[in-house]
Structure 1
Amino acid sequence: MSLQFSVLASGSSGNAIYVATEKQKLLIDAGLSGRKLEHLFKKIDCCPEDLDGILVTHEHSDHIKGLGVFARRYKLPIYANKKTWTAMEDVIGEIALEQKFEFPVEAVKTFGDLDVESFGVSHDAAEPMFFTFHHNGKKLTLATDMGYVSDRIKGVIKDSDMFIFESNHDVNMLMMGRYPWNVKRRILSDHGHVSNEDAAHALADVIGSKTTRIYLAHLSRDNNMKDLARLSVQQILEERGFTIGAGLELYDTDPSIPTKLAAV
């Protein structure tokens, strides 16, 4: 079995990603209610009962809303770094000691036939981190909730077969929108979120000969649109010498509709 995944939900209202191999099935973040997560699993014909664990990127509610409920219901181990555990422990409710595991930032942890590499990002959370998944020579990167994409991150994620990558906002929509200035400033800061344009330039630096798919993720409900994000990223990538549709494809993600289960 190849490395498979589905972006179950992505956006400011909630985030959850499913990653699976023959021997391991993991949920990354649980930012929706337990009932909603179960509904999303049904849509991709997968069962939460088959999960082996939950990886947590950071403690913001759109990433852990259903974490406690889901972990208790299915008796799932939770993996997070120490600072994230401290930040979210009072929010997710009581978790049995045998379900609590530490996954440090800048580390590699092996889950059966799947190696998971964590890397830190710049975001306004305790110690946010995201993941690159390695299986049988294939590489899948999940990278959202970043104020900017550092050279260190680019080195970790470079030449992934597939990327799930933040394309949070259109700067003009954000600046013209209804958000108060302090929120706009936070989004635009080095601890906020990556814009469509910044995402495209970062992707141009890390796309390699193996890269076939890019999923644009964590789009703002108020400050972005799927078509706008895709067109903005495509235009910049083509200006940087890439051809979309010739072995390299762009895909949308959605807050409530999972992507089809895809193989890396």
Structure 2
Amino acid sequence: MLFYLSRPIDTSRVVYIPKGSVSEIIAYLSDRNFKLSIIDNFVVRAYGHIQSGWIDMRQTKLSRLDFLKRLTTAKAAMGEITLVPGETAEVFLRQVAKDYELNHEILLKYYYELSPIKDGFLVPDTYKIPLGMSEHHLVRHLMQIATNVHQNLSKKVYGEYNQRRWEKILVIASIIQKEAASIDEMPLVSSVIYNRLEKRMKLQMDGTLNYGIYSHEKITAQRIRQDDSEYNTYKIDALPPAPICAVSIDAIKAAINPAKSDYLYFVLDRKTKKHRFSKTLSEHNANMK
């Protein structure tokens, strides 16, 4: 027994433990390659009950006895990260890496490996994360939350999760997120997008050029001329290939249920900070003036 308990276990610096009985948690950890057995079940019970949540192991190689003991006594110190609606994954993960001394390139590498779409899949929210969490575990944790949210929302609306249809909703929602001046405007902005697509008009919306690292860049005439990507809706006559940012529930609702209108144009009124919507180009030009 002493030999068994002294054998090393490889672990990540922090480990997530779900709520459940000792047997259920031992089985959960076994499924994640910790190679625990029924003996460990009895040893843990001698110490007490395994804590749920994030556990700080402090090391990545422990004796089996120390590993089991820390499951019952240790807790990870927590930090917070916030993803706001309208932000891109590129900028968000860069800030997370800076704040928590993580590698930005590794974060992005795992994000692109695990995300079904290039951007817009992470869910805007404030997350509590354990200090010392690895890049891989952080991205996997965020992606698991996002997957649950998107699948549950889609099933609530459509009765199923059709990934391709849901991705199109996220693309439209991301444009609404970038373009609308307020939540109240979102259904109207959505109607303009659908109306222009139906008439095979280019969307010609600046917000689609705020993708990736360009999240906060002011869009100029020069940028519109020079950008030859599939996100430049002044040049392409379709939706961008992927969402351009993280989207709120309000933007998703607007993408699913656009207002009924004949509007094809809108421009920001700098005095009211709201958009003026119009049905014809002549009306739009008058609003521009």
- TM-score range, shorter-chain basis? under 0.3
Structure (1 or 2) with the greater strand fraction: 1
Q: TM-score, normalised by structure 2?
A: 0.24
Structure (1 or 2) with the greater helix fraction: 2
> Which gives a bigger RCO, structure 1 or 2 (Cα 8 Å, sep 6+)?
1
Q: TM-score, normalised by structure 1?
A: 0.25
